[in-house]
């Protein structure tokens, strides 16, 4: 008697279903994608409390009786006819396995009708048995999936709690609704509306309607759109005030398909590397459309992954466009006020570094109050920060230095003669500045900047028309150094380096020598030069921003930071560390002239809202916030 037997179609289908129907969310995804392929502009998804029953209703093209029956057969599809068609797939349901696989592990009722039919069809499928009859229904398709996994109880046993299963469904429909913003989506769970989109054809609007982005933070996002040859790119990117602990805030959509895309993740890491803290991730929606033959979507059973024909070209395209969008749109002068301020770290509530969100927010941006506190040394200031949080800040247009000077104003005006007791003008003051790196006669600060305090030789307290602005000197200077070094990166090593008259012998432990040897390339790229002599290293040149005083300790700190960094970002990490170590320290006294120079250079520096490590440079307490501190509602 032979030991090998041919499985029945039902058992074969149930085994195949294991690849496609992993859980309720998998089945819902396949059915919704079929609705999208049917050109529906309205799709409703209703899910039962236990997530084992669900209904997908659309107003798409529908099916005639013959197609309605064939759709449930194995290997049935309208998307491909030969192997070569796999190279040109532009639809979702190309596999042709979904309906058959779902029907093998659930009971299905399918009502469908085309616009040319007088009466629709009802197809009932149980355990592979198909029954069809005429049925009055609207144009489109309505598929009811009942008692999922009823005939494979082992699969049902391993499902998670219903709310966990629904969260998977929610995330999938959320992503599909954003990717297909022209289509109206309605999602219901246990007869309660979870969300409904308007079909506005706006990515940002769909993201807000599906709660991917909270409506209070819509202004904290940048939108960019580009068409290059046969490729189109749309992106919604968060500014540095919003970031997360994980990559769940990143949505990659290629040719309308929500996918895991390492190329997009790598590009976003590069773009945000020097404006948000290490180990944090932006909130971003990337929609990329390329020629169908340039991407392979058939490398994963559930189509979660893709492969590019020319990944390098795609990487360069994304890198160029997204980095330019961020650089052109993110700056201190472009940020707006965020009104809601209350701290709630429970349930992963969203909190930005410069603006805290009220406790009713449903999404999960980063709670980062500890991050702020670690860079504020004054106890009174810490107490104030803990009480009210902080918000982001707007800026007025830069004007002529004397245009708004009021002779009767006794406040210290940063650009008025009164501020400089010895000097006659800002220009002459800056010329005598021993700390500045260039002439700033042509630049000025906003007319409303008034210096009202210098706290602990660390914080500049400025009165503005919006309220109180607090600037930390170390991280402001760190950003200045970083941008200046970055601007010189195209000029070659000599632009960074200053030769030493006499070599300096470095006192390094064995582990520090190993770290130096592992990182010598990026260090020499940005101005260091080393000579190995008698198994010890001598320093013969240092970056122009550094001083020889304490250079051994400074180098050890730089090596430590590089050791803890990413191998993919060695050059940027080296540049960040050099900028940090060469910046003035908190507690170091600056005179009036130096303060003006530092503030002027900072204000006119690109990306001047954070330091290269992502720390906020300035904190704004608006007049309204200060009032509410003393007059709580």
Q: What is the CATH number of the domain that holds 241?
A: 3.30.230.10
432 and 536, same domain (yes or no): yes
Q: How much is the pLDDT for 518?
A: 85
The pLDDT of residue 186 is: 97
Residues 240 and 112 in one domain: no
Contact of 486 with 575, CB cutoff 8 Å:
yes
- What phi, psi does 216 have (nearest 5°)? -65, -15
Q: Is residue 500 part of a domain?
A: yes
Which tens digits make up the pLDDT trace of 291-342? Answer: 888 877 655 555 566 778 888 888 888 999 998 888 777 655 433 323 222 2
Instruction: Work out the mean pLDDT of the chain and round it to a whole number.
Output: 75
Tokens of 237: 């990117």
Task: Give me the mean pLDDT over the 446-450 stretch.
Answer: 82
Concatenating the DSSP letter of every residue in 83-131 gives GGGGGG--SS-TTS-HHHHHHHSSEEEEEEE-TT-SSEEEEEEETTEEE
Which pLDDT belongs to residue 92?
A: 61
Same domain, 186 and 227: no
String of b and e for 394-433 (b: at least 16 CB within 10 Å)?
A: ebeeeeebeeeeeeeeeebbbbbeebbeebeebeebbeeb
Query: For residue 341, what pLDDT is reported?
Result: 27
Share of the chain above pLDDT 90, in %: 29
Residue 370, in any domain of the structure: no
Confidence of residue 12 (pLDDT cuts 50, 70, 90): low
3 in any annotated domain = no
Which of 244-248, 266-270, 350-354, 553-557 has the largest mean confidence? 266-270
- Give the total number of structural domains in the chain: 3
Question: What is the tens place of the pLDDT at every residue in 423-438?
Answer: 323 333 334 433 344 4
Band of pLDDT at residue 2, cut at 50, 70 and 90: low
343 belongs to a structural domain: no
pLDDT, average across residues 185-213: 95
Beta-carbon contacts of residue 241 (< 8 Å; ≥ 6 apart): 220, 335, 338, 352, 353, 354, 355, 392, 609
Out of 170, 196, 222, pick the residue that ends a domain. 196
pLDDT of 361 > 70? The answer is no
335 in any annotated domain: no
Would you state the pLDDT for residue 75?
57
Q: Which residues make Cβ contacts (< 8 Å) with residue 120, sequence separation at least 6?
A: 62, 111, 112, 113, 134, 135, 136, 137, 138
Q: Are residues 239 and 100 in the same domain?
A: no
CATH number, residue 131: 3.30.565.10
Residue 208 in domain: no
Residues 562-597 as b or e (16 or more Cβ within 10 Å = b): beebeeebbebbbbbbbbbbbbbeeeeebebbbbbb
pLDDT surpasses 80 at 252:
yes
138: left (phi over 0), alpha (psi -120 to 50) or beta: beta
Answer whether 247's CB lies under 8 Å from 261's CB. no
* pLDDT recorded at residue 378: 37
- Residues 186, 218, single domain; the answer is no
Least reliable range by pLDDT among 160-164, 319-323, 363-367, 503-507? 363-367
Boundaries of domain holding 266: 213-330
Last residue of a domain, one of 196, 224, 244: 196
- Residues 171, 269: one domain? no
Asked if residue 577 and residue 502 are part of one domain, the reply reads yes
385 occurs within a structural domain: no
**pLDDT per residue as tens digits for the range 589-611:** 998 888 888 998 898 887 788 88
Backbone angles phi, psi at 85, to 5 degrees: -65, -20
By mean pLDDT, which of 78-92, 252-266, 399-413, 446-460 is the weakest? 399-413
Burial class (CB in 10 A: 0-12, 13-18, 19+), 146: middle
Assess whether 191 and 261 both reside in one domain.
no
325 and 238 both lie in a single domain: yes
Q: Which of 298, 315, 330 is the last residue of a domain?
A: 330
Residue-wise pLDDT for 523-556, tens only, equals 888 788 898 888 889 888 888 878 788 888 888 8
Which pLDDT score, from 0 to 100, does residue 372 have? 31
The model's pLDDT over 15-35, given as tens digits with 9 standing for 90+, comes to 555 456 889 999 999 999 999
Residues 72 and 157 in one domain: yes
CATH of the domain at 498: 3.30.1540.20
Give the lowest-confidence range in 6-15, 106-115, 354-363.
354-363
pLDDT of residue 444: 75
Backbone φ and ψ for 421, nearest 5 degrees, come out as -65, -30
Q: Using a cut of 0.95, tell me whether the model's pTM lies above it.
A: no
Shared domain for 512 and 572, answered yes or no, is yes
Residues 114, 262, single domain; the answer is no
Q: What is the pLDDT of residue 80?
A: 47
Residue 325 lies in a domain: yes
């Amino acid at each position: 008697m032979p030991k090998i037997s041919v499985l029945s179609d039902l058992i074969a289908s149930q085994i195949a279903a294991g690849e496609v129907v992993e859980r309720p969310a998998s089945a819902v995804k396949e059915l919704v994608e079929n609705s999208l392929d049917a050109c529906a502009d309205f799709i409703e998804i209703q899910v039962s409390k236990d997530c084992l029953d669900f209904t997908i209703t659309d107003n798409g093209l529908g099916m005639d009786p013959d197609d309605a029956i064939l759709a449930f057969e194995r290997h049935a599809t309208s998307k491909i006819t030969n192997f070569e068609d796999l190279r040109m797939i532009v639809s979702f349901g190309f596999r042709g396995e979904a309906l058959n696989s779902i029907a093998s592990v659930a009971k299905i009722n399918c009502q469908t009708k085309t616009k040319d039919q007088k009466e629709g069809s009802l197809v009932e499928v149980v355990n592979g048995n198909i029954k069809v009859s005429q049925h009055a229904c609207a144009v489109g398709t309505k598929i009811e999936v009942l008692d999922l996994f009823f005939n494979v109880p082992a699969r049902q046993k391993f499902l998670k709690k219903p709310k966990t299963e629904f969260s998977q469904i929610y995330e999938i429909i959320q992503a599909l609704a954003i990717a297909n913003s022209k289509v109206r989506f309605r999602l219901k769970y246990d007869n309660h509306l979870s969300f409904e989109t308007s079909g506005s054809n706006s990515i940002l609007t769909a993201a807000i309607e599906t709660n991917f982005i909270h409506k209070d933070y819509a202004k904290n996002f940048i939108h960019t759109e580009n068409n290059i040859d046969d490729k189109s790119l749309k992106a919604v990117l968060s500014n540095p005030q919003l970031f997360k602990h994980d990559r769940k805030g990143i949505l990659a959509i290629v040719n309308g398909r929500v996918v895991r895309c390492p190329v997009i993740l790598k590009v976003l890491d590069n773009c945000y590397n020097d404006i948000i803290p290490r180990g944090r991730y932006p909130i971003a929606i990337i929609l990329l459309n390329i020629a169908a033959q340039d991407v392979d979507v058939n490398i994963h059973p559930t189509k979660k992954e893709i492969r590019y024909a020319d990944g390098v070209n795609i990487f360069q395209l994304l890198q160029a466009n997204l980095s330019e969008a961020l650089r052109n749109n993110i700056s201190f002068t472009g940020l707006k006020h965020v009104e809601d301020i209350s701290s709630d770290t429970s349930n992963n509530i969203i909190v930005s570094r410069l603006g805290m969100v009220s406790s009713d927010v449903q999404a999960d941006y980063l709670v980062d109050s500890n991050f702020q506190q670690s860079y504020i040394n004054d106890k009174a200031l810490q107490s104030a920060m803990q009480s009210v949080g902080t918000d982001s800040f707007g800026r007025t247009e830069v004007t002529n230095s004397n245009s708004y000077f009021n002779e009767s104003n006794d406040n210290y005006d940063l650009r008025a003669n009164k501020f400089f007791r010895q000097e006659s003008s800002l220009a002459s003051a800056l010329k005598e500045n021993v700390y500045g790196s260039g002439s700033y006669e042509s630049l000025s600060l906003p007319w409303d900047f008034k210096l009202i305090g210098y706290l602990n030789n660390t914080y500049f307290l400025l009165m503005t028309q919006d309220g109180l602005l607090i600037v930390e000197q170390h991280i402001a200077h760190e950003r200045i150094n970083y941008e200046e070094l970055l601007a010189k990166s195209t000029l070659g090593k000599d632009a960074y380096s200053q030769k030493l008259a006499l070599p300096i012998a470095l006192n390094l432990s064995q582990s520090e020598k190993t770290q130096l040897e592992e990182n010598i390339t990026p260090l020499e790229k940005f101005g260091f030069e080393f000579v190995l002599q008698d198994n010890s290293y001598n320093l013969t040149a240092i970056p122009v921003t550094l001083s020889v005083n304490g250079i051994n300790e400074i180098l050890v700190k730089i090596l430590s930071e590089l050791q803890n960094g990413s191998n993919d970002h060695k050059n940027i990490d080296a540049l960040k560390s050099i900028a940090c170590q060469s910046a003035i320290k908190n507690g170091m006294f600056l005179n009036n002239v130096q303060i003006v120079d530092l503030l002027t250079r900072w204000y006119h520096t690109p990306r001047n809202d954070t330091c290269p490590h992502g720390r906020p440079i300035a904190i704004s307490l608006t007049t309204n916030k200060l009032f509410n501190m003393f007059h709580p509602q």
